Chain A
């Protein structure tokens, strides 16, 4: 399986600079890059220099709207060229979205195309945030709030230009998405391990999910912008194992009622029928991967921990929904 990372971030937030630096790093060799630019004449792909082992493909148009099918075709094409030896045997794919893109439909394309899913696996979402203009962008551009909300990792860029650091912005980001790790990159300089270290290691990834659940359980209570006040990150925790049917009913109801407002759901689940290893679940809006089973629990903590990033979906409703489903399944089991 080849991991795919989606690199997003608002216009001018430093995606291309970050990518250029990453592609020059020896540990980031053998990378296929797909750059989406909005407009017929693209420039970003001209600004990205790669080693001989990596290469860049360009797509124009908006990935999240009309050309989602084109993304699938481009990915299928580079896989076919890789098999024919026409391009290097790349070991990872990075999709750089246009600054205006909503990342969720792109994630859906990666998750639901059966042909691609046999070869490619979504490894995560990295979102760049400009330390200089990021706060103002979050105030004015709802797309940028969503880009932050769905991220697994946030990269603060241009931190060298901000006197006194970017503590206020970091706090704001933590309010929108406390589950995401935040790292800084000046001039795009960053250790690739900080962005991609967990790919391919389910136990490390499960451990990271644990940390995210802890962060989500103690969110920052800082909402400075009216239009991101509806974005919330919270964790739902259950000490008792959850029957598989409860999990199924919960996910169905969440998709049915929350749909597009369920920006991200990740979790470690202690499934009653298989308590010795956690099920790792991962969904974007109404689209979920089938659960993956980690080999073992990452720590002694075997509680179910579900990390939600939502828009206008109250934690109290999710808790009440889960409690009612649990009560009904429990009642049926007793009869």
Chain B
């Protein structure tokens, strides 16, 4: 099955993410084009969502499926699954723009 630039970019992102999170695991492409992330015997399957779902991606593990609207959502699901100590930090925007650009 052919892949798009986005599919390839997501595969690279997931592999780099495992390295960045210091999690031992693999990222492989299945015959149907889905990505399989395997960490400590657990396998997550990441695929494009069917057209009738309001998501762009689905992340499946042990029969449980979660939707994601973007690659950053996929990344959030994957990290939550493989890095139990991770606590997401929400972006906070300062009160006002920086009137004096940083020196």
Q: Do A and B come from one complex?
A: yes
Partner-B contacts on A (CB < 8 A): 1, 3, 111-114, 116-118, 121-124, 152-153, 196-202, 205-206, 208-209, 249, 251-257, 259-260, 266, 280, 282, 285-292, 294, 312-314, 316-317, 319-321, 323-328, 330-331
Q: Pick the contact of B95: A114, A197, A266, A327 (CB < 8 A).
A: A114
Among B7-15, B37-45, B59-67, the one that faces the other chain is B7-15
Q: Pick the contact of B17: A113, A205, A317 (CB < 8 A).
A: A317
Q: Are A209 and B101 in contact (CB under 8 A)?
A: yes
Q: Determine whether B71 belongs to the interface, using a CB cutoff of 8 Å to chain A.
A: yes
Q: Pick the contact of B92: A257, A287, A328, A331 (CB < 8 A).
A: A287
List 14 contacting pairs A-B, 8 Å CB cutoff, sorted by A: A112-B94, A116-B95, A117-B96, A123-B100, A209-B101, A280-B101, A292-B101, A314-B16, A316-B20, A323-B12, A324-B12, A325-B70, A328-B70, A331-B6
Q: Pick the contact of B88: A208, A256, A290 (CB < 8 A).
A: A256
Given known contacts A249-B72, A316-B16, A112 and B92 CB-to-CB distance under 8 angstroms: yes
Q: Are B96 and A290 in contact (CB under 8 A)?
A: yes
- What separation, in Å, do the CA atoms of A159 and B70 have in the docked complex? 52
Q: Determine whether B53 belongs to the interface, using a CB cutoff of 8 Å to chain A.
A: no
Most central of B12, B72, B103 by chain A CB within 10 Å: B103
Q: Pick the contact of A317: B16, B56, B70, B94 (CB < 8 A).
A: B16
Known: A111-B94, A327-B9. 11 other contacts (CB 8 A): A112-B95, A116-B95, A256-B89, A257-B86, A260-B89, A287-B94, A294-B101, A317-B13, A320-B12, A321-B17, A324-B71
Interface residues of B in 47-103 (CB under 8 A from A): 56, 70-72, 75-76, 79, 86, 88-103
Q: Are A256 and B90 in contact (CB under 8 A)?
A: yes
Q: Pick the contact of A324: B13, B96, B100 (CB < 8 A).
A: B13
Given known contacts A252-B72, A317-B16, A118 and B103 CB-to-CB distance under 8 angstroms: no
Given known contacts A290-B94, A291-B97, A320-B9, A253 and B75 CB-to-CB distance under 8 angstroms: yes
Q: Are B76 and A256 in contact (CB under 8 A)?
A: yes
Q: Pick the contact of A256: B20, B91, B100, B102 (CB < 8 A).
A: B91
Given known contacts A252-B72, A325-B71, A286 and B103 CB-to-CB distance under 8 angstroms: no
Residue total for B at the interface (Cβ-Cβ under 8 A): 37
Q: How far is the CB of B11 from chain A (nearest CB, A)?
A: 9
Q: Determine whether B28 belongs to the interface, using a CB cutoff of 8 Å to chain A.
A: no
Q: How far is the CB of B40 from chain A (nearest CB, A)?
A: 20
Q: How far is the CB of A162 from chain B (nearest CB, A)?
A: 27
Q: How far is the CB of B20 from chain A (nearest CB, A)?
A: 4
- What separation, in Å, do the CA atoms of A93 and B29 have in the docked complex? 56
Q: Are A290 and B93 in contact (CB under 8 A)?
A: yes
- Closest chain B residue to A126, Cβ basis: B103
- What separation, in Å, do the CA atoms of A319 and B16 have in the docked complex? 9
- What separation, in Å, do the CA atoms of A277 and B90 have in the docked complex? 28
Residues of B within 8 A of A112 (CB): 92, 94-95
Q: Are A199 and B103 in contact (CB under 8 A)?
A: yes
Q: How far is the CB of A304 from chain B (nearest CB, A)?
A: 16
Residues of A within 8 A of B75 (CB): 253, 257, 321
- Closest chain A residue to B94, Cβ basis: A111
Q: How far is the CB of A10 from chain B (nearest CB, A)?
A: 22
Given known contacts A253-B72, A323-B9, A324-B6, A3 and B100 CB-to-CB distance under 8 angstroms: yes
Residues of B within 8 A of A324 (CB): 6, 9-10, 12-13, 71
Q: Are B99 and A1 in contact (CB under 8 A)?
A: yes
